[in-house]
Amino acid sequence: METPGITKDRLKASMRFCIMVALLSKGSSGLVCFTTVESLDLGCLLRWDCPHASPNTTYTVQTKTQGDPWQDVAWCVWVSSRSCDISHAFSNFELYNMIRLGVHRDPSSTVWIEPRKFDYSDFKYSPPSVTVSLREEQLLVKVQFPCAANRRCSVERCCPITQLIDPWTTVTVYNNLNRSQFQSRTVWTQEIVSYVEFSGLAPGQNYCAVANFSFPTFSIAASPKSAPQCVVTVSKSGERKTFNF
């Protein structure tokens, strides 16, 4: 008669064996693919590498937006390339977006690699640009945003990312001769460009403005700062100059 301790040890070993079998079964196809996503200004480029696939293997890419079924990316069906630009496949970045790669082993067999998400954690942005001007006692900063790669935009014209998302835009104005003197404002941008006004500037000083923006509610997906644009406030002589850096 077996002792309780031995019975428990055998039960644990049996469970470990079952888990190993399950893991081996999951990978029994022998197919391994590595996928990466590159994103700039809301674009999306999927790259993949399937080291053990035949050189003649073809692939299909599908996307899925929250609430919708999987759909083929029309220009990446049965392709032999190792990348697919799917920037035009997504339009709503507030919902969950998914991507998956299908590997065609033969005309009747497709192996789907585990899907991966596409969201704010993948986003990278180009910096915005700023223009500064003086209006009496106020400094007006105009922020322009980079063009987006998306199906809502034609390739012939610039479609600012603010047509696709409403970012938080932070503008900082500082005294170029005394960096400890600065003002910073963050606004929620819902227009193609953003205008931010600053007051309380001293006369005859060189003030510079920089700006950056981030995906709504997720500061982790933030752009680099713009190049500074500077202007000298009106001095006693009434002169002023604008500097571009």
Q: What is the pLDDT of residues 129-158, one digit of tens each?
A: 999 999 878 999 999 999 997 666 666 678
Residue with the two structure tokens 């469970």: 15
Give the pair of three-digit tokens for residue 230. Answer: 């500077």
pLDDT in tens, 36-51: 999 999 999 999 999 9
Radius of gyration of the chain (CA): 27
Task: Using the predicted structure, report yes or no on whether residue 238 has a pLDDT greater than 60.
Answer: no
Task: State phi, psi for 180 to the nearest 5 degrees.
Answer: -75, -15
Give the pair of three-digit tokens for residue 242. Answer: 């604008």
* 102 CB-near residues (< 8 Å, 6+ apart): 59, 60, 61, 62, 110, 111, 112, 113
User: Would you say 52 and 30 are in contact if contact means Cβ atoms under 8 Å apart?
Assistant: yes
Q: What is the 3-state secondary structure (H, E, C) of 73-128?
A: CHHHCCECCCEEECHHHCCCCCCCEEEEEEEEEECCEEEECCCEECCHHHCCCCCC
How confident is the model at residue 9, as a pLDDT?
53
Please report the domains of the chain, with CATH numbers, ordered by start residue: 32-121 (2.60.40.10), 125-244 (2.60.40.10)
